[in-house]
Amino acid sequence: MLFLTIVFSIVFSACQTSAPNKNEPVNIPLGMIFIKGGTFQMGDSEGMPFESPVHTVELDAFLIDEDEVTVAEFAEFVEATGYQTEAEKFGWSAVFDFESGEWRRTDGANWRNPEGKNSTAAPNEPVCQISWNDSSAYARWAEKRLPTEAEFEFAARGGLAGKKYAWGDELKPAGKFPANWWQGTFPGKNTREDGFLSRAPVKSFAPNGYGLYDMTGNVWEWTADWFDENYYEVSPKKNPKGAPGGEEKSIRGGSFLCAENFCSNYRVAGRSRATPDSGMNNLGFRCARSVEQ
C-alpha cells in the first residue's frame, strides 16, 4: 500500500507540473514560445530620457518567435508570394562600413546581399535590410504580427524583474559574452571577443529565461509601435500599443554595433527608432501572435 501511495504521488505531481496554463494554446506553432503575460515595470530611470518614467504595464498572454526570422525563412515567403522588398525596389540600402566607421548608401544592398552586390546572406542568420513594411508583409503571410514594444521588453526580460540585461545585472557574467554586441571602442576597434564581427547565426548564444534567443544584440528588431519620446508619460497600463501615429517605428534589442562607449542598447529597456521604409544591415525582426482569451 505504501508503494502504491508513493507511485500515485509521483504520477500526480508529474501531471500537475506538465499541465498547461489555462491561457496556453493547445497547439503552439513550431518555433514560437508561449508567454503567459503578467505585470512588470517597463523602462529604465537611469537610461535615456525616452526610456522613462519606469511604469507598470499589464499584458495579456501572447506568442512570440523563439528567434529572429532567418534568411531561409524569409526566402520561403518570397518564393511563395513573389514579394519584392523596399530595398530591392529602391536599388540600394544602408550599410555600416567597418573600415570608415560610417554608414553608407550602398547600391545593390538588400536581404540577399546585405552588404552590397558582392555579399551573400547566410541562410541561418537573421534576415536584415528589411523595412517595417516588409516585416509586416511577412507577418501577415505567416498569420502573425509584429510584437508591441511592451511585449518585446516583457519577453526580453525572461522573467527577471528589474534587471538591466536579459540575463541579470552583470554585463559579462563570469567574464563571458551572453550576446552579440561590439567589443572594443566603437567605431575604431572591434576585438570580436564574442566571436563575431557582424551578424551571428540565430541561436549562437544561450536563450533567456523564457527560451527566447537573441532578444539582445545581433540585430535590432522592428516592433508594431509608432515611436514617441514622451509615450511612457501617457502609456495605458494594460496592453499599450504605442503612439497613435508618427514618422518612425520603434525598434528594440540593440545589435552587433552596440558598444559600451557608444550604444548600450543591449539593455532590456533600450529603445530606438527608424522610418518604416528603412533598411539596414543590422536591422531585422521576429513575429508575435495574440492568444485568444
Q: Is residue 108 part of a domain?
A: no
pTM above 0.85, yes or no: yes
Q: What is the pLDDT of residue 262?
A: 86
Q: Which three cell numbers stand for residue 264?
A: 548600450
- How many other C-beta atoms can be found within 10 angstroms of the C-beta atom of residue 168? 12
Pairing of strands 220-226, 283-284: parallel
Residue 279, domain member (yes or no): yes
pLDDT number for residue 22: 55
C-alpha cell at 30: 513550431
When pLDDT is cut at 50, 70 and 90, the band that residue 81 belongs to is very high
Q: Is residue 6 part of a domain?
A: no
Q: Which residue has the cell 525616452?
A: 50
Look at residue 86 and tell me if it is in a domain.
no
Closest CA to 69 of 153, 134, 159: 134
Phi and psi at residue 72, to the nearest 5°: -65, -40
Instruction: Name the least confident of 22-31, 112-121, 188-197.
Output: 22-31
Q: What are phi and psi of 103, to 5 degrees?
A: -85, 140
Mean of per-residue pLDDT scores for the chain? 92
Domain that holds residue 212: 21-68+128-290
Inter-CA distances, 107 with 89, 118, 128, 280, Å: 11, 11, 15, 12
- pLDDT range class, residue 2, cuts 50, 70, 90: very low
Residue 263 pLDDT: 79
Answer yes or no: is 97 within a domain.
Answer: no
Mean pLDDT of the 25-32 span:
89
Tell me what the mean pLDDT of segment 220-248 comes to. Answer: 98
- Provide, rounded to the nearest whole percent, the portion of the chain with pLDDT above 90: 88
Q: What is the CATH number of the domain that holds 43?
A: 3.90.1580.10
Please report the pLDDT score of residue 202 as a whole number: 98
Amino acid 12: pLDDT: 30
Question: Would residue 152 count as lying in a domain?
Answer: yes
% of the chain at pLDDT higher than 70: 91
- Number of domain units in the chain: 1
pLDDT on residue 27 = 87
Is residue 63 pLDDT above 70, yes or no? yes
pLDDT digits (tens, 9 = 90+) for 129-179: 999 999 999 999 999 999 999 999 999 999 999 999 999 999 999 999 999
1 within domain boundaries: no
Return the pLDDT at 182: 96
Residue in 125, 64, 98, 80 with CA at minimum distance from that of residue 283: 125
Mean pLDDT, residues 80-109 taken together: 97
User: For residue range 265-284, what is the model confidence (pLDDT) as tens digits?
Assistant: 999 999 999 999 999 999 99
pLDDT: is 131 or 5 the higher one? 131
Residue 42 belongs to a domain = yes
Tell whether the model's pLDDT for residue 8 goes beyond 80: no
Cβ neighbors of 160 (< 8 A, separation 6 or more) are 166, 167, 168, 209
